[in-house]
Amino acid sequence: MAFWWPLLVLAAAYALCRVLLFLIPPTVPSMEVDASDVMEEVNQNKEDSFIYVPRKGKAAQTDMVRCYEPATMKYLGYFPALTPDEVQEHVAQARKAQEVWAKSSFKQRRQFLRILLKYILEHQDLICEISSRDTGKTMVDASLGEIMTTCEKIHWLLDEGEKWLKPEYRSCGRSMLHKSAKVEFHPLGVIGAIVSWNYPFHNVFNPMLAAVFSGNAAVIKVSEHASWSGCFYSRIIQAALLAVGAPDNLVHIVTGFAETGQALVSSVDKIIFVGSPGVGRMIMQKASETLIPVTLELGGKDAFIVCEDVDLPNVVQVAVRAALQSSGQNCAGAERFYVHKDIYPTFVSRVVKIIKSISVVS
């Protein structure tokens, strides 16, 4: 007994330490991101004011992406419309950085997520205001659709990401009992994303988070209708990557029009697209030339079904919001309404009354 007692004490102490380490959150440093040049009203009407990711190619620029506040038409800034050669240069730099990042530990990747999460929670108003100014959405819409969803995805990756990327052992079947089988998950390389304007913060972070946590690099083409906010959000990403010692050029934001997006599809190892079915078909066709995997989130015609026993005053409010949120440009928006005939007249009259009371303001 004298021999085993010290071992039991040590084992109990070790177990207690493990529990405490699990319960005590790791130290997460704060980071600062300069937003002075995007929030100063004095700069917003100057034709030469801009923020953008520094050019990687030639200094000359003929085509520009110009950005304005949709609510006020105030000038926000301009960005380069990258040529195919410039896009390929961005991808090449990302590919070189990814070779280093692929060897990073999950501990380092989780710290990257924690730093991002802390910044987002501490600067919600700034993020929402920039999203609101660039798209015309309300601060409430920005908070619910941008902040909440992004934070939830970060939490999921922190809790579940490593588990889903661990090797999986599989059965070989009876005829291969002398064999063993294992599925390993390796980074693909450079993940490209072409994202829509309606959720500029979330749509930049959504593909980037999973790509970087999985050991990949990311090159994201933001919408020409939301380039101002997208390029500012890049500063947040770069600051967090710097804080964890990630290699330079791991994440790129590129701006431009259709030509820029086409060049991205031809250069990366996987493409993610958020947008219309028509463009989605073209991207899938282009991706088939190099046989890269494709993830498409396309628009549809969501149905809103109203039964006869609903709480009508509440449902009417929800229906109007479902139809008009983000000016109707919303992946979860309702575009077809099926209303029970017994309550149809009342439903329509209440919807019309609410819509007539709505005014478009800045």
Residue corresponding to tokens 């983000």: 326
Tell me how far apart the alpha carbons of residues 142 and 136 are, in angstroms, rounded to a whole number: 10
Residue 217's SS3 state is strand
Q: Which two tokens stand for residue 77?
A: 């800034």
Among 280, 332, 327, 326, CA closest to 301: 332
Are the beta carbons of 226 and 134 closer than 8 angstroms?
yes
342 alpha carbon, distance to own chain's centre: 43
Tell me how far apart the alpha carbons of residues 286 and 289 are, in angstroms, rounded to a whole number: 6
Q: Which two tokens stand for residue 64?
A: 């520009």
Bridge partners of 339? 306
Bridge partners of 78? 66
Question: Is 297 an annotated catalytic residue?
Answer: yes
Residue 77 CB coordination number (10 Å)? 24
Residue 94 CB coordination number (10 Å)? 25
Residue 30's SS3 state is coil
Read off the DSSP letter of residue 3: T
Tell me how far apart the alpha carbons of residues 341 and 58 are, in angstroms, rounded to a whole number: 63
Q: Pick the catalytic residue: 160, 297, 308, 335?
A: 297
Residue 216's SS3 state is coil
Burial class of residue 48, CB neighbours in 10 A (0-12, 13-18, 19+) = exposed
Q: Which two tokens stand for residue 228?
A: 């101002």
DSSP-based helix, strand, coil % in the chain, nearest 5: 50, 15, 35
Which sequence positions are flagged as catalytic? 297
